[in-house]
Structure 1
Amino acid sequence: MFTFIHHQHLPLLKQLRLPFMTAVQLRDPFIENKRVHRPNSNQPLSDSEFSEAMAKSYEALEPHIKAMVTFEYYLKQAKQNREQIEKQIQRPKTPKQLGLASLESYEKVVCLRLFKQIYQQGLWQTAGMQHEAVAIKLDAQHPFLAGKQFEQRPQLLTPVIYDDSRPPLPSKADPFPALLRRPEHLAYEQESRLIRPSAVMDKVIDEMLTCKFPKGLIQGMYVGLACPESVVESLHALVTQDLNFRGVPLKQIGVSATHLRLVATDVML
């Protein structure tokens, strides 16, 4: 898994620290909930809502028809006429437990954004801070990330759900739904999030809540396209001279000469 750190915050790495984000720092409009527009009958269904409606429709078919058509085929055909079908679907009423959580609901936790891969241009423009960040490859199996507890407090590492429908309000069974729900069109990001109580963050540096990480957690560093050359030189010195990072692979993101793709190449100084 990869996380992004702006090149100006790389001194944190030398201190073996990672910055986590608060709900406010995420700047997620669906957590901040400003200028909320209530749904109306013309609002499109999300993919999950449409699939659920088609599942109910499929189950209502006569048995002899169902025997000839699989649900997968039925859904595929329905998607070809989705706009017309949606007009005929009665939108389900919003459950009482579905609502808009406030930022205060998430003040006691922080998160570390983690991504499955780093070769999407859109990812570098957003999470990669306009290519000015360094992507840090982390050992996803390390207890620092995968453990159920950190500093004797619970933590949660889980994939983000991509669904346009609103998540339920926080509950004991699902305490952080809005932190783990993103719009469907962002599914290409393939993000997971590590959620921890803010109380375990042991140091604030430049208004960032940071946490000490163990040696061996970092498995690679990938320098963004817009990072200054001095950043490459500094990281090269880090992985060749610092005992905590010696031997960690260092690569630089570039562009393919033959395709509209990002590639990673070895750093040659």
Structure 2
Amino acid sequence: QKGIYNDVLIEARPPRVNTASEEVIHKENSWIVLGRDRPAGVRTGYGGLGHHRAASIDMCVGPQGRDITEWNKMTREKVVVNPDFQKDSARIYISAKSDIDDNFQLSDGKIGNAKGKSAIGIKADGVRIIGREGVKIITKGGDTKNSRGCRMSSVAGIDLIAGNDDTDLQPLVKGNDLANGLMQLADLVNSLNGILVGFMNSQMSYNQSVMKHYHYSPFFGQPTTPALDTLMIDRVNTALDQVSVSLADAALNKINLTNWKFNYCEPAGSLYINSRLNNTN
């Protein structure tokens, strides 16, 4: 049986439309094409427009993917194929000048749509990046200019977009800052709890004075009304305590909460818990 032990296999192998500027390495349905930017037919891409500095390397396996065939069933004509960034089974595409997001039909995200830039696109049913001692995803690096010679004044971020849908793209959370922020918030809530306990103790002390102090009637020594002179002193002490301690502490706690909200929850805050560059949905 053909194909066993990697022997030659009988299967559909439609020929590719090649151009004079392309050097093609081809075996069965595996292609490596050295040429110029070309995401589809010969007129497409910056190669089709005749641009300089648009060299490309297109590595593709499984042209037309699930729809691969050598014959058009309707016209009964021989099928020839062009690069197809949507249908081809798997591809690594490298170009010195390309509209990579448009070619692969990618959403803009926060980073935006790259036009006429050097680019690498990798597409397959499953893409895995394995590093035995770690994997880094780095933007900008040590460069100050891009491949076109333009100075890069800002640092671009990283968008993690599931389903190619950027409608609900949000900043990633920075774990250490979030943990520190929650710890500080817990301390502020605990402080507020202490203020409330102090207020309650002060109020309960006054309430006990109200309950325990009475005037006594000259008739048989029966209690009548509370001792107003004692209550007045206790009431003044309670009011002073609540104003000087409870209200002052509550005002300070409110200021601390406002500062916490700004530092951790506002983009301008020094400890903002979200990444200012990296996003995901």
When Rg is computed on C-alpha atoms for both structures, the one with the higher figure is: 2
> TM over 0.5, yes or no?
no
Flag the structure with more relative contact order, 1 or 2, with Cα contacts below 8 A and sequence separation at least 6: 1
TM-score, with structure 1 as normaliser = 0.22
Would you tell me which structure has more strand in proportion to its own residues? 1
TM-score, with structure 2 as normaliser = 0.22
